[in-house]
């Protein structure tokens, strides 16, 4: 019995001392991957897919063209100091950002014109490499938006 308790204690200490720092290193690495300038390559609005499937060819093309135009005007800048800028169709949003503990979400706080910040908003990171990122925003209204980004610097 004593041997099992000592053995289990050593395992817990090993896990805490070895794996937790690795998790922090992985988060730091992912923070470095997220930091930089990103261009939106493609936008998918999952909630529109049933509508698009039933639409006329002209309406499908119109929706696809609108999504392409929106993507062409969209970009993100995630700075290492924890600030960000997002631009969509000429509208600029600034604020603070950080990764959650698992580096699976970007937690952003949009800055208001008076300098205060809105409540934190989470954007899922569906995939992340050094040069590509897929963000998934699942709104309470049921709108699901997936953005495919490419790092430009």
Residue 141's pLDDT is 66
The residues that bridge with 146 in the sheet, in sequence order, are: 44, 136
For the chain, the domains span: 2-151
pLDDT in tens, the chain (153 residues): 544 444 444 444 444 434 444 343 344 678 999 999 999 999 998 888 888 888 999 999 998 899 899 899 999 999 999 999 999 888 999 999 999 998 999 999 999 999 999 999 999 999 999 999 999 987 666 788 999 999 998
Q: Check: CB of residue 42 under 8 Å from CB of residue 148.
A: yes
The architecture CATH gives domain 2-151: Beta Barrel (2.40)
Residue 53's pLDDT is 87
Q: What is the value of pTM for the model shown?
A: 0.75
Residue 52's pLDDT is 85
Residue 139's pLDDT is 66
What gap in Å lies between CA 96 and CA 28, rounded to an integer? 17
Q: Where are the beta strands (DSSP E) in the chain?
A: 36-45, 75-78, 83-88, 91-99, 105-110, 121-128, 132-138, 144-151
User: What is the biggest distance separating any 2 CA atoms in the chain, rounded to whole angstroms?
Assistant: 75
What gap in Å lies between CA 135 and CA 97, rounded to an integer? 14
At 35, phi and psi to the nearest 5? -60, 135
Residue 140's pLDDT is 65
Residue 28's pLDDT is 60
Give me the torsion for CA of 15, 21, 22, 26, rounded to 10°.
140
Q: Check: CB of residue 149 under 8 Å from CB of residue 135.
A: yes
The Cα-based distances of 113 to 5, 84, 91, 92, 141 in angstroms read: 58, 15, 13, 11, 26
């Amino acid at each position: 019995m004593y041997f099992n308790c000592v053995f289990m204690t050593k395992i817990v200490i090993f896990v805490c001392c070895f794996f937790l720092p690795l998790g922090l290193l992985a988060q730091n690495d992912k923070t470095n991957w997220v930091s930089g300038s990103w261009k939106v390559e493609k936008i998918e609005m999952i909630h529109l897919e049933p509508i698009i499937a039933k639409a006329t060819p002209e309406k499908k093309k119109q929706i696809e063209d609108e999504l392409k135009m929106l993507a062409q005007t969209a970009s993100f800048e995630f700075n290492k100091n924890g600030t960000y800028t997002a631009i969509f169709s000429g509208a600029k949003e600034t604020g603070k950002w950080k990764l959650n503990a698992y580096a699976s979400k970007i937690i952003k706080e949009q800055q208001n014109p008076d300098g205060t910040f809105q409540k934190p908003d989470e954007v899922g990171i569906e995939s992340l490499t050094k040069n590509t990122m897929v963000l998934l925003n699942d709104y309470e209204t049921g709108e699901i938006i997936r953005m495919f980004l490419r790092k430009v610097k």
